[in-house]
Structure 1
Amino acid sequence: MQENNFIKNKTLEEKIYLVGFALGIISLFLPWVNMGFISANGFQQAGYLLLIPMLYPIITLFSNKKRNNIINIILGILNIIFSIGFMMSKNVTIFGQSINPSGAGLYIMIVATIVIGVGCFLEFKNSKKA
Protein backbone atom coordinates (compact mmCIF):
# COMPACT_ATOMS: atom_id res chain seq x y z
CA MET A 1 0.00 0.00 0.00
CA GLN A 2 1.44 3.34 -1.05
CA GLU A 3 1.52 5.98 1.64
CA ASN A 4 0.66 9.62 0.94
CA ASN A 5 3.66 11.74 1.93
CA PHE A 6 2.08 15.08 1.02
CA ILE A 7 1.17 15.90 4.63
CA LYS A 8 4.23 14.27 6.16
CA ASN A 9 6.60 16.35 4.04
CA LYS A 10 5.05 19.67 5.11
CA THR A 11 6.37 21.93 7.84
CA LEU A 12 4.31 22.77 10.92
CA GLU A 13 3.43 26.16 9.43
CA GLU A 14 2.18 24.57 6.21
CA LYS A 15 0.04 22.13 8.17
CA ILE A 16 -1.37 25.10 10.10
CA TYR A 17 -2.26 26.77 6.78
CA LEU A 18 -4.11 23.65 5.64
CA VAL A 19 -6.08 23.40 8.90
CA GLY A 20 -6.97 27.11 8.82
CA PHE A 21 -8.09 26.98 5.19
CA ALA A 22 -10.16 23.85 5.83
CA LEU A 23 -11.84 25.56 8.79
CA GLY A 24 -12.56 28.57 6.59
CA ILE A 25 -14.25 26.44 3.95
CA ILE A 26 -16.27 24.51 6.54
CA SER A 27 -17.43 27.77 8.12
CA LEU A 28 -19.07 28.86 4.86
CA PHE A 29 -21.65 26.08 5.20
CA LEU A 30 -22.61 27.06 8.75
CA PRO A 31 -24.86 29.95 9.83
CA TRP A 32 -23.11 33.32 9.83
CA VAL A 33 -26.23 35.17 10.90
CA ASN A 34 -28.58 33.46 13.31
CA MET A 35 -31.47 35.29 14.92
CA GLY A 36 -33.82 32.35 15.28
CA PHE A 37 -36.21 33.45 12.55
CA ILE A 38 -33.40 34.66 10.26
CA SER A 39 -30.42 32.52 9.35
CA ALA A 40 -27.85 32.90 6.57
CA ASN A 41 -24.75 30.86 5.81
CA GLY A 42 -21.35 32.11 4.70
CA PHE A 43 -22.15 31.92 1.01
CA GLN A 44 -25.25 34.10 1.46
CA GLN A 45 -23.18 36.60 3.45
CA ALA A 46 -20.34 36.69 0.85
CA GLY A 47 -18.00 35.12 3.41
CA TYR A 48 -16.04 33.47 0.63
CA LEU A 49 -14.36 36.86 0.16
CA LEU A 50 -12.53 36.25 3.44
CA LEU A 51 -10.91 33.20 1.84
CA ILE A 52 -9.11 35.36 -0.74
CA PRO A 53 -6.25 36.49 1.56
CA MET A 54 -5.90 32.86 2.69
CA LEU A 55 -5.21 31.74 -0.87
CA TYR A 56 -1.64 33.07 -1.05
CA PRO A 57 -0.13 30.58 1.44
CA ILE A 58 -2.30 27.75 0.07
CA ILE A 59 -1.41 28.36 -3.58
CA THR A 60 2.30 28.63 -2.78
CA LEU A 61 2.04 25.48 -0.67
CA PHE A 62 0.57 23.42 -3.51
CA SER A 63 2.85 24.91 -6.16
CA ASN A 64 5.95 24.37 -3.98
CA LYS A 65 6.95 28.02 -4.39
CA LYS A 66 8.68 30.02 -1.70
CA ARG A 67 6.36 32.38 0.17
CA ASN A 68 7.28 36.02 0.67
CA ASN A 69 7.11 36.34 4.46
CA ILE A 70 6.27 40.04 4.43
CA ILE A 71 3.29 39.53 2.09
CA ASN A 72 2.30 36.49 4.13
CA ILE A 73 2.25 38.33 7.47
CA ILE A 74 0.45 41.38 5.99
CA LEU A 75 -2.26 39.16 4.47
CA GLY A 76 -2.61 37.25 7.74
CA ILE A 77 -3.08 40.44 9.76
CA LEU A 78 -5.45 41.97 7.21
CA ASN A 79 -7.58 38.84 7.13
CA ILE A 80 -7.95 38.84 10.91
CA ILE A 81 -8.96 42.52 10.82
CA PHE A 82 -11.42 41.93 7.94
CA SER A 83 -13.09 38.97 9.63
CA ILE A 84 -13.52 40.77 12.95
CA GLY A 85 -14.74 43.87 11.08
CA PHE A 86 -17.20 41.69 9.20
CA MET A 87 -18.56 40.42 12.50
CA MET A 88 -18.82 43.94 13.93
CA SER A 89 -20.74 45.08 10.83
CA LYS A 90 -23.52 42.63 11.69
CA ASN A 91 -24.71 44.70 14.67
CA VAL A 92 -28.41 45.53 14.46
CA THR A 93 -30.75 47.48 16.69
CA ILE A 94 -34.01 45.80 17.66
CA PHE A 95 -36.43 47.53 20.02
CA GLY A 96 -33.69 50.00 20.99
CA GLN A 97 -31.29 47.21 21.94
CA SER A 98 -28.10 46.63 19.92
CA ILE A 99 -27.37 42.96 19.26
CA ASN A 100 -24.93 41.02 17.13
CA PRO A 101 -26.62 38.01 15.49
CA SER A 102 -23.36 36.43 14.34
CA GLY A 103 -23.63 32.67 14.04
CA ALA A 104 -21.19 29.84 14.65
CA GLY A 105 -19.88 29.87 11.09
CA LEU A 106 -18.61 33.43 11.41
CA TYR A 107 -16.87 32.63 14.67
CA ILE A 108 -15.24 29.60 13.06
CA MET A 109 -14.06 31.83 10.19
CA ILE A 110 -12.50 34.19 12.73
CA VAL A 111 -10.73 31.23 14.33
CA ALA A 112 -9.59 30.11 10.85
CA THR A 113 -8.13 33.56 10.09
CA ILE A 114 -6.35 33.57 13.45
CA VAL A 115 -4.98 30.07 12.74
CA ILE A 116 -3.67 31.25 9.35
CA GLY A 117 -2.24 34.37 11.04
CA VAL A 118 -0.42 32.22 13.59
CA GLY A 119 1.00 30.11 10.75
CA CYS A 120 2.19 33.28 8.99
CA PHE A 121 3.78 34.58 12.20
CA LEU A 122 5.51 31.26 12.93
CA GLU A 123 6.88 31.05 9.41
CA PHE A 124 8.11 34.66 9.64
CA LYS A 125 9.70 33.97 13.04
CA ASN A 126 11.39 30.76 11.83
CA SER A 127 12.72 32.46 8.69
CA LYS A 128 14.44 35.08 10.87
CA LYS A 129 16.30 32.30 12.73
CA ALA A 130 17.50 30.62 9.55
Structure 2
Amino acid sequence: MTLHRIVIAAARQTRAAPRREGEAMTGDIVETLRGRALQPLDLADFAAEHGMSAATLRRRFLAETGLPPKAFQLRSRMDHAKQLLVTTDEKIETIAAKVGIDDAFYFSRLFHERESCSPSQFRARYRRS
Protein backbone atom coordinates (compact mmCIF):
# COMPACT_ATOMS: atom_id res chain seq x y z
CA MET A 1 0.00 0.00 0.00
CA THR A 2 2.80 2.43 0.90
CA LEU A 3 4.69 1.60 -2.30
CA HIS A 4 1.55 2.37 -4.30
CA ARG A 5 1.31 5.84 -2.66
CA ILE A 6 4.98 6.54 -3.40
CA VAL A 7 4.54 5.62 -7.06
CA ILE A 8 1.46 7.82 -7.38
CA ALA A 9 3.18 10.74 -5.64
CA ALA A 10 6.22 10.41 -7.92
CA ALA A 11 3.99 10.33 -11.01
CA ARG A 12 2.19 13.48 -9.86
CA GLN A 13 5.47 15.27 -9.24
CA THR A 14 6.76 14.33 -12.69
CA ARG A 15 3.61 15.64 -14.39
CA ALA A 16 3.65 18.82 -12.34
CA ALA A 17 7.37 19.48 -12.81
CA PRO A 18 7.86 22.85 -14.51
CA ARG A 19 9.81 23.06 -17.74
CA ARG A 20 13.21 24.62 -17.59
CA GLU A 21 13.48 28.11 -19.02
CA GLY A 22 13.47 27.98 -22.84
CA GLU A 23 12.95 24.22 -23.02
CA ALA A 24 10.04 23.05 -25.14
CA MET A 25 8.61 19.58 -24.97
CA THR A 26 9.45 17.53 -28.03
CA GLY A 27 5.75 16.90 -28.73
CA ASP A 28 5.20 20.65 -28.95
CA ILE A 29 8.12 20.95 -31.35
CA VAL A 30 6.71 18.17 -33.54
CA GLU A 31 3.33 19.90 -33.69
CA THR A 32 4.95 23.25 -34.46
CA LEU A 33 6.90 21.74 -37.36
CA ARG A 34 3.79 19.94 -38.59
CA GLY A 35 2.00 23.30 -38.66
CA ARG A 36 4.88 24.90 -40.57
CA ALA A 37 5.65 21.98 -42.86
CA LEU A 38 4.81 23.94 -45.99
CA GLN A 39 7.21 26.76 -45.11
CA PRO A 40 10.99 26.75 -45.59
CA LEU A 41 12.87 25.36 -42.60
CA ASP A 42 16.12 26.78 -41.27
CA LEU A 43 16.96 24.14 -38.68
CA ALA A 44 19.34 26.35 -36.68
CA ASP A 45 16.73 29.13 -36.38
CA PHE A 46 13.97 26.64 -35.54
CA ALA A 47 16.14 25.05 -32.84
CA ALA A 48 17.08 28.43 -31.37
CA GLU A 49 13.40 29.34 -31.28
CA HIS A 50 12.94 26.35 -28.98
CA GLY A 51 15.97 27.08 -26.83
CA MET A 52 18.33 24.38 -28.06
CA SER A 53 21.04 23.66 -30.59
CA ALA A 54 20.26 22.18 -33.99
CA ALA A 55 21.99 18.94 -32.95
CA THR A 56 19.88 18.63 -29.79
CA LEU A 57 16.70 19.36 -31.72
CA ARG A 58 17.61 16.78 -34.36
CA ARG A 59 18.36 14.15 -31.68
CA ARG A 60 15.14 14.78 -29.72
CA PHE A 61 13.06 14.94 -32.87
CA LEU A 62 14.49 11.67 -34.16
CA ALA A 63 13.81 9.98 -30.81
CA GLU A 64 10.20 11.23 -30.80
CA THR A 65 9.23 10.63 -34.44
CA GLY A 66 11.80 8.23 -35.88
CA LEU A 67 12.66 10.85 -38.51
CA PRO A 68 15.00 13.83 -38.63
CA PRO A 69 13.17 17.19 -38.85
CA LYS A 70 13.75 17.69 -42.60
CA ALA A 71 12.51 14.18 -43.42
CA PHE A 72 9.48 14.74 -41.21
CA GLN A 73 8.80 17.99 -43.02
CA LEU A 74 9.05 16.28 -46.40
CA ARG A 75 6.74 13.48 -45.27
CA SER A 76 4.20 16.08 -44.12
CA ARG A 77 4.46 17.83 -47.48
CA MET A 78 3.93 14.57 -49.38
CA ASP A 79 0.94 13.69 -47.18
CA HIS A 80 -0.59 17.07 -47.98
CA ALA A 81 0.15 16.55 -51.68
CA LYS A 82 -1.62 13.17 -51.60
CA GLN A 83 -4.66 14.81 -50.04
CA LEU A 84 -4.70 17.50 -52.71
CA LEU A 85 -4.28 14.94 -55.49
CA VAL A 86 -7.36 12.98 -54.48
CA THR A 87 -9.57 15.91 -53.46
CA THR A 88 -8.86 18.53 -56.15
CA ASP A 89 -8.42 18.83 -59.90
CA GLU A 90 -5.40 21.11 -59.57
CA LYS A 91 -2.44 20.58 -61.87
CA ILE A 92 0.60 18.72 -60.54
CA GLU A 93 2.63 21.94 -60.87
CA THR A 94 0.13 23.80 -58.68
CA ILE A 95 0.12 21.06 -56.04
CA ALA A 96 3.92 21.00 -56.02
CA ALA A 97 4.00 24.75 -55.38
CA LYS A 98 1.33 24.48 -52.68
CA VAL A 99 3.45 21.98 -50.75
CA GLY A 100 6.54 24.18 -51.02
CA ILE A 101 8.35 22.54 -53.93
CA ASP A 102 8.82 24.95 -56.82
CA ASP A 103 10.07 22.42 -59.38
CA ALA A 104 7.26 20.11 -60.54
CA PHE A 105 9.73 17.58 -61.99
CA TYR A 106 11.60 17.38 -58.69
CA PHE A 107 8.27 17.03 -56.87
CA SER A 108 7.22 14.19 -59.19
CA ARG A 109 10.54 12.41 -58.65
CA LEU A 110 10.28 12.72 -54.86
CA PHE A 111 6.67 11.61 -54.94
CA HIS A 112 7.52 8.57 -57.08
CA GLU A 113 10.39 7.58 -54.75
CA ARG A 114 8.05 7.59 -51.76
CA GLU A 115 4.84 6.24 -53.27
CA SER A 116 6.18 4.01 -56.07
CA CYS A 117 3.94 5.77 -58.56
CA SER A 118 3.71 9.18 -60.18
CA PRO A 119 1.38 11.85 -58.80
CA SER A 120 -0.91 11.31 -61.81
CA GLN A 121 -1.03 7.56 -61.21
CA PHE A 122 -1.72 8.15 -57.51
CA ARG A 123 -4.59 10.48 -58.39
CA ALA A 124 -6.08 7.98 -60.84
CA ARG A 125 -5.79 5.14 -58.32
CA TYR A 126 -7.21 6.90 -55.26
CA ARG A 127 -9.48 9.59 -56.69
CA ARG A 128 -12.92 9.62 -55.13
CA SER A 129 -15.63 9.61 -57.76
TM-score by length of 1: 0.29
More helix by share: 2
| Structure with larger RCO (C-alpha < 8 A, sep 6+) | 1
TM-score by length of 2: 0.29
